[in-house]
Amino acid sequence: MKEHADTAQITTSAKVEGGATASQQPSLIRRFGERWTKVDRYAAILFFVAFYLLVFIREGSDFVSWGSISIVLSQNAYIVFAALGVTITLIAGQFDLSIGSILGISALFVAGFTALQNFPLPLAILLTLVAAGVIGMVNGLLVVKAQVSAFIATLATGGALGGIAVLYSSSTVIYTGIPEALTNFGSSKFLGLSYLFWSAVVVLIVTWVLTRHTVLGRNWYAVGANQEASRLARLPVGRLIVLAFVVGALVAGAGGILLTAQLGSAQPQTGPGLLLPAFAAAFLGSSILSDGRFTVLGTFVATYLIAFAGSGLDALGLDTGWKPLFNAAVLIGAVALTAALRRRTGVSSPG
């Protein structure tokens, strides 16, 4: 009961702080922004629906065929893991810019441990997850103990992981010697959908229960809303932040293992390119399914909204360079929308 009371006190304190700001005389631009956010979520959803309809009208039923849908659901499952890892740290009020690199080096490790070091697959998976967890712990300790900003700490960690990946793989693609048990998992299906997608669903359920129905999850939200109030409520803020980085890294590490299962290979350049779609999904999910509050369910839905939009760009025959431009536009729009929603509801922003 005391845990619930403390969390409620923190949430109330965050709202009071937001309310004090809102009580000031708002500018014309701010008043316009607050009115606009009343329809913003619906406008964002309508944008995607309109885009899908445009592609459907031009390309026909192939775009919405079961085969096309199942391919998108399966091929983007690993991005779900990266986005969920990002979301967990955002819930705790932190940024993890190394999450893509963690996923990428995890894909490389599970391939290398089996193909180069000849470790049994279960041991290789265990060591890969341990490595991911250690990286997350390093990030957390840099933020909590060394007092380095999460932005700088995780940016540096991500860069270091890129160098480690190149050194470990000798700048080559690992594609021989990967166990068939792993690649068969990546190609197997259940109810017409790959095990990769179902793995993403399982992790979604686990993280949803963790963030919404456990004391740890409620405390993460409390710390993300107001660190000072959390300290006054005697919550172990530092430990909670470190745990958020560790759990987020573990989720990304699992995604890396699945990426190797999907591709049947691993390369050192994988990782940095995942950061943009992962953050775009996290912020888009927070803006269309809640009032600026990060949720794993919102991230899951948003990941596939973006993925199907990317599939639409491919169907229209556009150059692949349009995908990162689209993701960047979604991220900018979603961040602006989330910030407006958080100002309106008095929820603190991460960072």
pLDDT in tens, the chain (351 residues): 444 444 444 444 444 334 444 444 444 444 444 554 455 666 667 677 777 777 776 666 666 677 778 888 988 999 999 999 999 999 999 999 999 999 999 999 999 999 999 999 999 999 999 999 999 999 999 999 999 999 999 999 999 999 999 999 888 998 888 999 999 998 898 888 899 999 999 999 999 999 999 999 999 999 998 999 999 999 999 999 999 999 999 999 999 999 999 998 988 888 878 888 999 999 988 887 777 789 999 999 999 988 888 777 777 777 777 778 887 888 887 787 777 776 665 555 565
Distance, CA of 26 to CA of 154 (rounded, Å): 36
> Whole-angstrom Cα distance, residue 296 to residue 155?
23
Q: How far apart are CA 329 and CA 327, in angstroms?
A: 5
Q: H or E stretch including 332?
A: helix 322-345
Selection from 249, 220, 233, 208 nearest residue 81 by Cα:
249
Radius of gyration of the chain (CA): 21
Model-level pTM?
0.83
Residues 6 or more apart in contact with residue 224 via CB below 8 angstroms: 90, 91, 92, 93, 94, 294, 348, 350
**Confidence at residue 120, expressed as pLDDT on a 0 to 100 scale:** 95
What CA–CA distance (Å, rounded) separates 336 from 283? 9
Nearest to 287 by CA among 248, 217, 349, 342: 342
Distance CA 169, CA 147 (A): 33
pLDDT at 32 (0 to 100): 44
In sequence order, the 6+-apart residues with CB closer than 8 A to the CB of 252 are 81, 82, 85, 99, 100, 102, 103, 106, 132
- On whether the CB atoms of residues 148 and 351 are closer than 8 A, the answer is no
- Strands (E) located in 151-267: 189-190, 193-194
d(CA 118, CA 22): 60
* Assigned CATH for 40-343: 1.10.3470
Residue with tokens 């009371």: 5
- Sign of the torsion angle spanned by Cα atoms 334, 340, 346, 350: positive
Q: How far apart are CA 129 and CA 132, in angstroms?
A: 5
Cα gap 255→275, rounded to integer Å = 13
Q: Tell how strand 193-194 and strand 189-190 pair up.
A: antiparallel
Which residues make Cβ contacts (< 8 Å) with residue 170, sequence separation at least 6? none
